[in-house]
Amino acid sequence: MPKKRILSGMRPTGKLHIGHYVGALENWVGLQDKYQSFHLIADYHVLTTDLKTNDIYDNSIEMLIDWLASGLDPVKSPMMRQSQIKEHTELNLIFSMLITINRLERNPTVKDQARELHIEQIIYGHLGYPVLQAADILLYKGDAVPVGEDQVPHIEITREIARKFNNQYGKVFPEPEPLLTKFARLPGLDGSAKMSKSMGNTILLSDESEVVKSKIKKAVTDPRKIRRNDPGRPEICLIFSYHNKFNPKEVSEIEAGCRSGALGCVDCKMNCASSLSAFLKPIIEKRKYLEQNLDEVRDILNDGEKRGRATAIATMDEVRTAMKFG
């Protein structure tokens, strides 16, 4: 029995941070042996919030390097740029006929993103990006999509569009299921609920140990724990959440020391920085190799796009036949 397919992707914004790893990459790496995986560099999606394109290619390469350094296997999982496979835009046009403006306006994620980025007037492409996302997923006949909880409304739109197409023209597409990530989103170093490069509160996968140490030193902790002997509340401390992910063996000891006041924040932070750097070390080493062998990275991308294009063309042949355009 053939493996089920998944499609996952990210907008290319350059180097990735540990929030990307915890929220997506780790899950992708774990799934690539269980599913036939396609990984999309969603460069068209960048245009929904930023029309500048000068850095998109360089940012795509930086992100691809982080994907590879984190353990994605290009033999198992083709990696490709959305803009290089024209079938994405063709299917997006067809799908845009199958959904109403009112339905798109009910999508909470667009409103949240507009608020976060201080966008006053939402453009047509931004409102409709869940439709393009549906085309991205269904072009590869994704049976499942690895997402965080905030993306589940988009997957529901994809399911609705697949259902509408199948009812109108005949069964072509699966109705994909969301595969929720297991670990909650990492908070930013400033205490924000989200780690974001635009907010300057991240630890990059490429950060060397001294950079990690410097960043962790400045991170906010429990405001009530001012002195070493003050009892702390690890449940509200972002450093403790990092320990939970990157230093699980010591979590019980750290929690007890924090609550009793025996463990000071400086020592706790330096322990966290050390654990994080140990985790990042093999990623950074692989990253340095890839940075010195960019032709190999470009070959991986070209091969992924060739394989992705073949799948996309086959799907669109089915679509045109079903719609009597073929």
Q: Which residues pair with 80 in a beta bridge?
A: 40
Q: pLDDT tens, 1-42?
A: 788 999 999 999 999 999 999 989 999 999 999 999 999 999
Three-class SS of residue 36?
strand
What is 200-212 written as a DSSP string?
Answer: T---BTT--HHHH
Structure-derived torsion over alpha carbons of residues 243, 247, 248, 249, reported in degrees to the nearest 10: -130
Structure token pair of residue 6: 């998944």
| pLDDT surpassing 70 at residue 226 | yes
| Residue with the larger pLDDT of the pair 123 and 74 | 74
**Do 172 and 165 contact (CB within 8 A), yes or no?**
yes
Q: Which CATH number fits domain 207-288: 1.10.3720.10, 3.90.1300.10, 1.10.240.10, 3.30.930.10?
A: 1.10.240.10
Cα atoms found within 13 Å of the Cα of residue 260, Cβ hemisphere only: 8
In what helix (H) or strand (E) does residue 12 lie, and over which residues does it extend?
Answer: none
Query: In the prediction, which pLDDT does 121 show?
Result: 80
**Looking at the chain, how many residues does it have?**
326
| pLDDT surpassing 70 at residue 185 | yes
**CA distance from start to end of the chain:** 29
**Do 146 and 28 contact (CB within 8 A), yes or no?**
yes
Q: pLDDT tens, 80-126?
A: 999 999 999 999 999 999 999 999 988 877 777 767 767 778 889 98
Going by DSSP bridges, is the β-strand pair 177-180/144-147 parallel, antiparallel, or unpaired? parallel
Q: Which residues pair with 60 in a beta bridge?
A: none
Domain 5-185+294-322 = CATH 1.10.1740.10: no
Q: pLDDT tens, 282-304?
A: 999 999 999 999 999 999 999 99
* pTM of the predicted model as reported, rounded to 2 decimal places: 0.93
Q: pLDDT tens, 262-284?
A: 898 899 999 999 999 999 999 99
Q: Where are the domains of the chain?
A: 5-185+294-322, 207-288
